[in-house]
């Protein structure tokens, strides 16, 4: 070797050594592996990919309060700091990866768990649960979705409301507590919405004083009832102010009744740190080789893409994660390449505020006073007619060139209980919006919030909606990957619109929902208000009043605050939604499926939250005439199983051609529905 070449080789070697020794740029400072199983999944091996291993542990991070990327975090400046001036936190993690990463696809799926629980089984054809690696059924594993493709999978804690019992691998986070500059406790107004039974209720934040005259507890049965004050003699603090209980001792809270508790709390956790924890964990896995103590990153050098998959609450978390600018890593690079948002709609999460509660979710009769649905609602730039602001959910990532592509998939329930139309119309409710170049929006027609049990009513008046979107999610996840990696455009957005009359007001005349015997229709839906938490709340995240005043009746009452107009899907003559992705069961129906439902029992006709309805058609013409049902009977529609099967196959083929169903899932969709008809003797043969 020539002298110059030798010198150059030494310089390069020294540079490599320096890079290896340098501390990680991402703020994950240490990982602690507490369990490793190699192989996992009972040793099952996927063709071409091989066996997987499971790595479980805890990560320790720190944030620089002076870093501009962290400036948006409410109360971070009031967090305790270590000797280097940083704010410390820790969280649980769980990783599944091919033992031989060279045989994987060099992509990772990340799921922020839902209240600490893993939900990946919906996408992964049933291979899930809180410990997915414990699944050993070979037939189930062979049919899984992610492992045969060679994906690594990661989960990590981010949510202060997640259960703290980690025995079942619940993923949690330990957050700093904000303090006054002199180290004393911060106090302020906090609020609880209580609908659960039990002899006591644990408060999210401990009470600052045990003086019951400084707090108010109210009780009502229906949402639009006037709240009645429970006298101070009717309740007490327990557990040193960490909980409340009714008196006399042992008196339970009435399940599903509404109790509201306003009080002065102390010691707020800095919940927004959860955004940074997710950013830094994924950036560390993607871009770093080891932690500051020398522990090796188990995915070092492997990840070329990271996609997310969520259900509900963590989707709202990622909506705000993206909006607040956290998809830019500390090193300036992009964190997530693609997001698949299932049943999150355009909502955010009660998280980056003082006294926030990330576990809350606003629905028809619950959690209305927690900040969740606030402007901007859409992925494109709009103007807020209430505040005069102009913004979009993609504004910050567009400025830093770190925007992920996204599939925004949601159900009819989100229109009724989350005001999801604000994602596709301007905030004045006057016109439809164009797509963002980074997103597609897909409405799952006639679905509830997730898949219900069609044999059960729960607390609702009708059977629960059993429609299942999992196969569509797999098709759109595949399309998302092609969009990111190859630039292949996914299927066009599928949503109801004002311009073609498929997005309408919620009254029965406007929706055209049929008058079905025994089915109550009230048009009850959630609206969006600009909540008043004090003059500076939306700048500082710190409330000065609690709670905002809501005046009964709740529905569409201008006294509650400025209202953003929102709408619901138009239905056909059967009551099934016209627009959106229509599953085979909706295209060739045996029933009416709705995204809304009403309660039974003492809370009769209040909203039944996440549930929808399954209202079977009359079986025969005679049944229809006897009941007065305006919907054609199954017999009149299809005559025999052969006709039904032919129409069903056409519907399934159409979904495959449109990119909303993978061919591998088509046969399962066909057999499931035909078997249902045969099993229940709904139609004869020829």
Question: What does the alpha-carbon distance between residue 159 and residue 375 come to, in Å, rounded to a whole number?
Answer: 22
* Statement to judge: residues 611 and 647 lie in one domain: no
| Longest CA–CA separation in the chain, Å | 100
CA angle 431, 433, 435 (to 5 degrees): 165
Q: Is residue 162 in some structural domain?
A: yes
Q: How confident is the model at residue 686 (pLDDT cuts 50, 70, 90)?
A: confident
Residues 269 and 175: beta-carbon distance below 8 Å: yes
Residues 59 and 91: beta-carbon distance below 8 Å: yes
Question: What does the alpha-carbon distance between residue 504 and residue 528 come to, in Å, rounded to a whole number?
Answer: 16
pLDDT of residue 10: 32
Tell me 114's DSSP state: B
Q: Is 82 helix (H, G, I), strand (E, B) or coil?
A: coil
CA distances from 254 to 108, 220, 245 (A): 45, 10, 12
Give the mean model confidence (pLDDT) for residues 421-446: 98
Q: Is residue 321 in some structural domain?
A: no
Question: What does the alpha-carbon distance between residue 493 and residue 378 come to, in Å, rounded to a whole number?
Answer: 14
pLDDT of residue 677: 95
Burial-class residue 45 by CB neighbours within 10 Å (0-12, 13-18, 19+): middle
* Statement to judge: residues 255 and 295 lie in one domain: no
Question: What does the alpha-carbon distance between residue 613 and residue 446 come to, in Å, rounded to a whole number?
Answer: 9
Helices (H) and strands (E) in the chain, counts: 14, 26
Q: Is residue 547 in some structural domain?
A: no
Question: What does the alpha-carbon distance between residue 125 and residue 471 come to, in Å, rounded to a whole number?
Answer: 9
Q: Is residue 337 in some structural domain?
A: no
Dihedral sign (CA 569, 573, 579, 583): positive
Task: Read off the pLDDT of residues 147-196 as tens digits, 9 standing for 90 and up.
Answer: 999 999 999 999 998 876 556 889 999 999 999 999 999 999 999 999 99
Residue with more model confidence, 10 or 105:
105
Q: Is residue 485 in some structural domain?
A: yes
pLDDT of residue 270: 98
* Statement to judge: residues 37 and 151 lie in one domain: yes
HSE toward the beta carbon, residue 666, CA cutoff 13 A = 17
Residues 339 and 308: beta-carbon distance below 8 Å: yes
* Statement to judge: residues 59 and 171 lie in one domain: yes
Give the mean model confidence (pLDDT) for residues 648-662: 98
Q: Is residue 329 in some structural domain?
A: no
Q: Is residue 15 in some structural domain?
A: no
pLDDT of residue 20: 40
Closest CA to 377 of 367, 388, 390, 364: 390
Closest CA to 394 of 352, 330, 441: 441
What's the whole-model pTM score?
0.94
Give the mean model confidence (pLDDT) for residues 376-404: 97
Residue with more model confidence, 88 or 3:
88
**Range(s) of the domain holding residue 374:** 345-542+563-616
Is the predicted pLDDT of residue 546 greater than 90, yes or no?
Answer: no
Is the predicted pLDDT of residue 492 greater than 90, yes or no?
Answer: yes
Q: Which two tokens stand for residue 357?
A: 């509660």
Q: Which of 247, 266, 285 is the last residue of a domain?
A: 266
Terminal CA-CA length for the chain: 85
* Statement to judge: residues 95 and 236 lie in one domain: no
Q: How confident is the model at residue 556 (pLDDT cuts 50, 70, 90)?
A: low
Q: Which of 616, 639, 657 is the last residue of a domain?
A: 616
Q: Is residue 552 in some structural domain?
A: no
* Statement to judge: residues 162 and 240 lie in one domain: no
Is the predicted pLDDT of residue 585 greater than 80, yes or no?
Answer: yes
* Statement to judge: residues 639 and 681 lie in one domain: yes
Q: Which two tokens stand for residue 612?
A: 């929808």
Question: What does the alpha-carbon distance between residue 154 and residue 95 come to, in Å, rounded to a whole number?
Answer: 4
* Statement to judge: residues 73 and 89 lie in one domain: yes
> Can you spell out the DSSP letters for 479-495?
HHHHHHHH----PPPB-
Per the omega criterion (within 30 degrees of 0), is the bond before 527 cis? no
Q: Which two tokens stand for residue 391?
A: 């913004």
Question: What does the alpha-carbon distance between residue 363 and residue 451 come to, in Å, rounded to a whole number?
Answer: 17
Contacts of 540 (CB under 8 A, 6+ apart): 74
Q: How confident is the model at residue 21 (pLDDT cuts 50, 70, 90)?
A: very low
Residues 97 and 118: beta-carbon distance below 8 Å: no
* Statement to judge: residues 279 and 428 lie in one domain: no
* Statement to judge: residues 233 and 283 lie in one domain: no
Is the predicted pLDDT of residue 7 greater than 60, yes or no?
Answer: no
Q: Is 288 helix (H, G, I), strand (E, B) or coil?
A: coil
Q: How confident is the model at residue 12 (pLDDT cuts 50, 70, 90)?
A: very low
* Statement to judge: residues 532 and 655 lie in one domain: no
* Statement to judge: residues 128 and 233 lie in one domain: no
**Residue 166's Cα: distance from chain center in Å?**
21
- What percentage of the chain carries pLDDT values higher than 70? 95
pLDDT of residue 346: 84
Count of domains observed in the chain? 4
pLDDT of residue 209: 98
């Amino acid at each position: 070797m020539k002298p110059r070449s030798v010198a150059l080789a030494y310089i390069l070697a020294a540079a490599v050594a320096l890079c290896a020794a340098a501390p990680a740029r991402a703020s994950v400072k240490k990982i602690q592996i507490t369990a490793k199983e190699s192989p996992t999944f009972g040793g099952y091996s996927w063709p071409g990919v091989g066996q997987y291993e499971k790595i479980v542990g805890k990560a320790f991070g720190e944030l620089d309060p002076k870093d501009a990327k962290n400036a948006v975090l409410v109360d971070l400046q009031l967090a305790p700091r270590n000797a280097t001036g940083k704010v410390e936190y820790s969280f649980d993690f769980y990783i599944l990866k091919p033992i031989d990463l060279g045989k994987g696809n060099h992509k990772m799926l990340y799921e922020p768990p839902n209240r600490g629980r893993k939900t990946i089984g919906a996408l992964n054809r049933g291979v899930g649960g809180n410990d997915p690696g414990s699944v050993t059924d070979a037939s189930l594993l062979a049919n899984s979705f992610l492992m045969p493709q060679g994906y690594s999978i990661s989960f990590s804690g981010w949510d202060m409301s997640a259960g703290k019992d980690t025995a079942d691998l619940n993923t949690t986070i330990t957050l700093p507590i904000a303090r006054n500059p002199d180290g004393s406790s911060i106090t302020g107004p906090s609020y609880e919405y209580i609908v659960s039974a039990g002899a006591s209720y644990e408060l999210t934040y401990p009470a600052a004083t045990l003086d019951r005259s400084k707090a108010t507890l109210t009780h009502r049965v229906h949402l639009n009832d006037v709240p009645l004050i429970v006298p101070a003699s009717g309740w007490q603090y327990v557990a040193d102010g960490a909980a409340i209980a009714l008196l006399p001792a042992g008196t339970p809270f009435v399940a599903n009744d509404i109790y509201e508790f306003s009080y002065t709390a102390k010691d707020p956790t800095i919940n927004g740190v959860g955004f940074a924890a997710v950013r830094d964990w994924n950036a560390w896995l993607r871009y770093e080789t080891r932690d500051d103590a020398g522990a090796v990153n188990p995915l070092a050098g492997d990840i070329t893409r990271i996609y997310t998959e969520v259900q509900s609450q963590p989707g709202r978390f990622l909506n705000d994660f993206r909006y607040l600018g956290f998809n830019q890593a500390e090193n300036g690079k992009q964190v997530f390449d693609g997001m698949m948002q299932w049943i999150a709609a355009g909502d955010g999460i009660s998280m980056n505020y003082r006294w926030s509660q990330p576990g809350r979710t606003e629905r028809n009769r619950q959690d209305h006073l927690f900040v969740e649905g606030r402007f901007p609602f859409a992925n494109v730039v709009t103007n807020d007619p209430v505040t005069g602001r102009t913004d979009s959910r993609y504004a910050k990532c567009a400025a830093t060139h770190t925007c992920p592509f996204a599939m925004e998939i949601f159900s009819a329930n989100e229109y009724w209980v989350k005001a999801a139309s604000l994602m596709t119309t301007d905030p004045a409710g006057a016109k439809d919006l164009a797509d963002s170049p980074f997103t597609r929006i897909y409405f799952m027609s006639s679905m509830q919030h997730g898949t219900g049990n069609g044999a059960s009513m729960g607390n609702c008046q009708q059977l629960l909606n059993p429609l299942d979107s999992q196969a569509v999610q797999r098709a759109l996840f595949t399309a998302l990957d092609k969009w990111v990696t190859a630039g292949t455009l996914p299927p066009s957005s599928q949503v109801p619109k004002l311009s073609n009359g498929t997005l309408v007001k919620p009254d029965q005349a406007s929706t055209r929902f049929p008058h079905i015997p025994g089915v109550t229709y009230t048009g009850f839906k959630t609206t969006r208000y600009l909540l008043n938490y004090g003059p500076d709340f939306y700048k500082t995240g710190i409330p000065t009043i609690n709670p905002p005043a809501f005046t009964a009746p709740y529905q569409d009452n201008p006294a509650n605050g400025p209202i953003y107009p929102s709408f619901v899907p138009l239905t056909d003559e059967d009551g099934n939604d016209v627009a959106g992705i229509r599953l085979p069961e909706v295209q060739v129906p045996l029933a009416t499926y709705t995204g809304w439902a009403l309660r039974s029992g003492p809370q009769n006709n209040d909203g039944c939250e996440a549930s929808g309805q399954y209202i079977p058609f009359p079986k025969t013409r005679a049944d229809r005439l006897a009941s007065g049902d305006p919907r054609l009977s199954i017999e009149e529609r299809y005559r025999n199983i052969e006709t039904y099967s032919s129409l069903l196959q056409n519907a399934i083929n159409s979904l495959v051609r449109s990119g909303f169903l993978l061919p591998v899932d088509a046969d399962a969709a066909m057999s499931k529905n035909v078997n249902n008809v045969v099993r229940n003797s709904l139609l004869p043969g020829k």
